[in-house]
Chains A and B, each alone.
Chain A
Amino acid sequence: MNDGAGILEAARSMDGPLVIGGREFTSRLIVGTGKYADNEIMVDAIRASGAEMVTVAVRRVDLDRTKSEGILHHLDPGEFFLLANTAGCYAAEDAIRYARLARAAGFNEWIKLEVIGDETTLLPDVHATLEAAKVLCDEGFKVMAYTNDDLVTALRLEDVGCAAVMPLASPIGSGLGVVNPYFIREIKRRLEVPVIVDAGVGTASDACVTMEQGVDGVLMNTALAAADDPVRMAHAMRHAILAGRLAYLAGRMPSREIAVPSSPVEGMLD
């Protein structure tokens, strides 16, 4: 069991599946499909990451091109579970419109709800997010809501029926890692629905630290797409997510600011 696949299998046997809205996923990593330089590399990276759920955006077809360049020309919806997003929306009514369009594509009724409130930081408009979440949950959507690392908003999103709540680690595309581990832990402690950390993870150690907070999963895009070698980074992330998850489940040793010898202090020679 020392080959890569064996290690992954052994690690997985020590953890249960990720369950969102009644559906089981073996991978705790969800990946985006944006910003890749090349579609073939994107597909290779997604496969290497082991992710089953992948996010896609809803946009106008570019009619000036002779051939449609939709993502489904490259990504097989039979191989991956598509999670459409409402990225780019700045108002609840726009996000609702995009979600309805996404559902009409006919794959599923899941939506990654994202309502942005500030162009510079891309931080969410939590009031608009809550408003849209309520409408979409009432319409039968399985809503996975991108939000701030704010406990009260997370609780409200759960109250209106979201299938998962997705606080950010740090701003979208920043790669700054988890800036507020305490609030991420607090959100996880208080919510019953899965908590997926969405946005801000930059490299494998960030993913690992995020999972060590006890959250149910991580959603990332730029960390893979903007790596020099996205496929290699995807492998690293797959291992980092598992490592962080197992470290959390294993329960870490207490940290202390004094040294404690690991070898016996008795039995030393005179």
Chain B
Amino acid sequence: MTGATTIQVRINGKDRDVDEGHTIRTLIESLELHPSLVVVELNREILSRDAYGEIPVQEGDVIELVHFVGGG
């Protein structure tokens, strides 16, 4: 058997299966987003951008990825 094991996380309100072993940074990059343009809330805690590369993504994590959009 080959292939990476996946874990289930919830990103922006939707359950997703992602490869095991991601950090927040690699997860953002795998979603084709630029880490400097998104803010990450992990299990209701806002993460510092410097920490993205050090924080592992774990089974059951609830992740919010937000950015600025047009508004009044």
By a beta-carbon cutoff of 8 Å, the part of chain A in contact with chain B is: 32-36, 42, 55-61, 63, 66-72, 82, 84-85, 87, 100-102, 104-106, 172, 199, 219-222
Contact = CB atoms under 8 A, between A and B. Distances in A.
Given A72-B37, A85-B72, A100-B46, A63 B67 contact: no
Nearest to A61: B65
A57 B70 contact: yes
Contacts of A57: 68-72
Interface residues of B, number: 25
B37 A56 contact: no
B41 interface: yes
Contacts of B32: 66-68
4 closest residue pairs by CB, A with B: A57-B71, A32-B72, A221-B72, A70-B67
Given A68-B34, A70-B37, A100-B46, A105 B12 contact: no
A70 B67 CA distance: 6
A61 B12 contact: yes
B28 to A, nearest CB: 9
Contact of A101 (B41, B48, B72): B41
Interface in B8-41: 11-14, 31-34, 37-39, 41
Interface centre among A35, A60, A219 (most CB of B within 10 A): A60
Contacts of B70: 32-36, 42, 56-57, 71
B38 A61 contact: yes
A171 to B, nearest CB: 12
B42 to A, nearest CB: 12
B72 A34 contact: yes
Contact of B67 (A72, A219, A220): A72
Nearest to A224: B72
Given A56-B69, A57-B68, A68 B37 contact: yes
Interface centre among B12, B32, B38, B67 (most CB of A within 10 A): B67
B12 A101 contact: no
Contacts of B41: 101
B40 to A, nearest CB: 8
A61 B66 contact: yes
B64 interface: yes
Contacts of A34: 69-72
A26 to B, nearest CB: 21
A15 to B, nearest CB: 25
Contacts of B71: 32-34, 55-57, 59, 85, 87, 221
A70 B46 CA distance: 19
Contacts of B14: 63
